[in-house]
Amino acid sequence: MTLSTVGISNDIFRSPRDLVLPTLIGTVMSYLILGSAIIGMSALLIRDETLWVGYVLIAAVPPAVAVIPFAHFLKGDISYSLMGTVGAYLSAMIIMPLMALGLLKSMPFDLWKLIKIMLELIILPLAASRIILWKGWQKRIEPVRGVIVDWSFFLVLYIITGLNSDILISQPLSIIPVIIIAFASTFLLGSLIEKAGILFRIRKDKITSLVLLGTLKNYGLSGGLALTLFSREASLPSAVCSIFLILFYLWLNFRKRLKGGEL
């Protein structure tokens, strides 16, 4: 989180008024569209209460920090993606506790512990990235920033997947609903957002950004919350969705290359 947000300039925080529209866009795409889709599909397909908890946590977390670099690689609107992501993270500080309280009534958890984790995994990394920019350390970090972020993401995914390896290997049929939701919330939902964008004649680069904001969640954060507040089984949806995040990005990149640089 710290290294991924180093690329966000302090200038965007100097004009709170300019953050209003991006905050709304990022919040609508990540929560109203993607979050609602995840909760709706989970209510229809998931019967295991532990897995349901995992999906509530996924719906409650903000967009993946990968939205910003992915938007760069896919020729999306960088400013749109960046501001939308920052806005959604600011909204998450209010939305996450409310969703947890509203949708996890049957699963007792420590609300103050959730708030503490949010401060540790959202606010502190953002604050640390501001210090790095203030001190001018970003130039020293830049050559290794991508490698560290990639390995950090791999480490989180490896731990979550490894903890659930017994289910993945011994009960593969039990995760079919999980795979269906992961596929639908990325490939299918992304296609619908793209078609809606074309219908409303939105610029192609903005459509790319909207697709990313409306399909990718911070699965590392949701998996960490699941492990800390509930159980390793609750982190299974985050592990599967993380894999589909990578597959979806590869698919979008393949399509861009196939179309000569356009998504």
- pLDDT tens column, 200-249: 999 999 999 999 999 999 998 999 899 889 988 899 999 999 989 999 99
Mean pLDDT, rounded, for 92-111: 84
Q: Please state the φ and ψ torsions of residue 262, each to the nearest 5 degrees.
A: -110, 145
Distance CA 112, CA 240 (A): 28
Mean pLDDT, rounded, for 133-150: 86
Of 30, 36, 77, which Cα lies nearest the Cα of 207?
77
Mean pLDDT, rounded, for 121-131: 87
Highest mean pLDDT among 29-38, 77-86, 145-154: 29-38
* CATH 3.40.50.2000, applies to 10-258: no
Q: What residue spans define the domains of the chain?
A: 10-258
Task: Kindly tell me if the per-residue pLDDT of 15 is higher than 80.
Answer: no
Task: Kindly tell me if the per-residue pLDDT of 251 is higher than 90.
Answer: yes
Q: pLDDT for 169-186, tens place per residue?
A: 777 777 899 999 999 999
Q: Which residue has the higher pLDDT, 149 or 38?
A: 38
Tokens for 112, please give them.
């103050």
Tokens for 189, please give them.
């939902």
pTM above 0.85, yes or no: yes
**Which pLDDT band, with edges at 50, 70 and 90, does 110 fall under?**
confident
| Structure confidence at residue 202 (pLDDT) | 93
| Structure confidence at residue 158 (pLDDT) | 83
Tokens for 136, please give them.
């001018």
Q: Which residue has the higher pLDDT, 16 or 96?
A: 96
Tokens for 21, please give them.
């529209």
**Which pLDDT band, with edges at 50, 70 and 90, does 123 fall under?**
confident
| Structure confidence at residue 80 (pLDDT) | 84
What DSSP character marks residue 34? I
Q: Quick one: CA torsion of 247, 148, 97, 168, rounded to 10 degrees?
A: 40
Average pLDDT, rounded, for the chain: 87
Q: Are 75 and 205 in contact (CB under 8 A)?
A: yes
Q: Which residue has the higher pLDDT, 154 or 215?
A: 215
**Which pLDDT band, with edges at 50, 70 and 90, does 261 fall under?**
low
Q: Are 64 and 217 in contact (CB under 8 A)?
A: yes
Dihedral (CA of 194, 85, 101, 227) sign: positive
| Structure confidence at residue 149 (pLDDT) | 80
**Which pLDDT band, with edges at 50, 70 and 90, does 130 fall under?**
confident
The beta-strand segments (E) located in 68-215 are none
**Which pLDDT band, with edges at 50, 70 and 90, does 263 fall under?**
low
Task: Kindly tell me if the per-residue pLDDT of 65 is higher than 90.
Answer: no
